[in-house]
Amino acid sequence: MSPVSRKRKKPARRRSAPGLDAIAAEAVTAYRETLAVDGFAAELFTAELLGGWWQGAVAAGTNPEAVPRALVRYAAHRRTEEALAALLALAHLGTSAALRDAARAAATRLTDAGVPAPGWADQVGPVAVLRCALVTDAYGEQTTVLCEYRRGEARHALSALLDHDEADGAVVDAWFSAGPDELFAQTAARVAESDGVAAMASTDPGRAARLLRAGFARLDEWAEPTDSEDLPQYRALALARLRDMPGDAEIGAGELTGTGDRETPAGSSSGGAAPVPRTAPPARRHPVRTRSTRSTGCWRRTWSARQWRGSWLRPRPRRSPGMRRPRWPPRRG
């Protein structure tokens, strides 16, 4: 062997991606952080995990259920409190009926074996829908759906943005708020400042559910990653709330295009009130599209000297302690 060949370095080995069992093991370990929180915080933690896996699978063109199913298989053979916590959360927030059933069956076996359940085990499950509202623009291009939910004494709200212009009615953004009163009040204030461009009206939960189901179905049809930071994080939780809302999956053409009739104003009583007729939108003056992003619907139009941003309607209440984002991956000691 020549001196040159002896000094030649071997190429470094590439680190292989972790397998499904390794990912599942790390996820189960991360559930130790949820043992001392409330049910809503545990739901947010699980939804963020599922959202990250869903977005990664969509980007890679793989099955988004692969990692959650591996998590169920792994946790089913671990008689620990964090494993049971993961199974209970997936039994409620799993994005498919098969995943929820498998997690529920595995959680039942661990419970029968004497594994202690987390303190929030009785704080996850069905919720009651208190009120819903729609925020539409005068041109029928976007709709924001607001829904308030209650479980016990705790309340929270969902805000979802549907784009009828570029996204064909798909949900392009969604997030949850722990302060529903503040969310509805701030939204009404922003609508009042829109000079007639936007309108807010209360609606029945059935119609809101039809809009959201159709919007999430269109999102799944895209099968491509979204640029929204919040949508993947809250997608699983929003789908779980939809399962507690009335109505079927069918939706009228007027609702898909955002041209349905406006209903009772959100601040008034809905009992026996006549629908508010849609007024003619203000005339457009040389509309100029300066930015377009299909996934987020963040675009801007200009009328004369006034600019209106399509995604401006996002009043953000301060996050409560229960809405703190979990560390992922968890810190190692």
Q: What are phi and psi of 135, to 5 degrees?
A: -115, 115
Q: 288's torsion region: left (phi>0), alpha (psi -120 to 50) or beta?
A: beta
| C-alpha to C-alpha distance for 120 and 249, rounded to whole angstroms | 31
Cβ contacts of residue 9 below 8 Å, gap of 6+?
A: none
Q: What angle is formed at CA 220 by the lines to CA 214 and CA 226, rounded to 5 degrees? A: 110
Omega within 30 of 0 (cis) for the link into 232: no
Question: Does residue 51 contact residue 236 with C-beta atoms inside 8 Å?
Answer: yes
- Fill in the amino acid letter for 66: A
- How much is the pLDDT for 221? 86
pLDDT, tens only, 230-264: 999 999 999 999 999 986 544 433 444 444 444 44
Between the CA atoms of 264, 266, 267 and 269, what dihedral angle is there, to the nearest 10 degrees?
Answer: 40
**pLDDT recorded at residue 319:** 39
> At a CB cut-off of 8 Å and minimum separation 6, what does 291 contact?
298, 299, 300
Backbone dihedral region for residue 95 (phi beyond 0: left; psi -120 to 50: alpha; all else: beta): alpha
Cα distances from 319 to residues 79, 87, 150, 236, 329, in angstroms, run: 34, 27, 18, 19, 21
Q: What pLDDT was estimated at residue 115? A: 94
The residues spanned by each domain of the chain are 20-124, 128-315
Half-sphere exposure of 10 (CA within 13 A, CB side): 3
Q: How confident is the model at residue 1, as a pLDDT?
A: 53
pTM: 0.72
- Mark the ranges of the chain whose per-residue pLDDT is less than 50: 15-16, 249-265, 267-333
**Predicted pLDDT at 40:** 92
Is the distance from CB of 47 to CB of 90 less than 8 angstroms? no
Q: How many CB atoms lie within 10 A of CB 270?
A: 14
CB of 116 within 8 A of CB of 138?
no
Query: According to the model, what pLDDT value does residue 258 have?
Result: 41
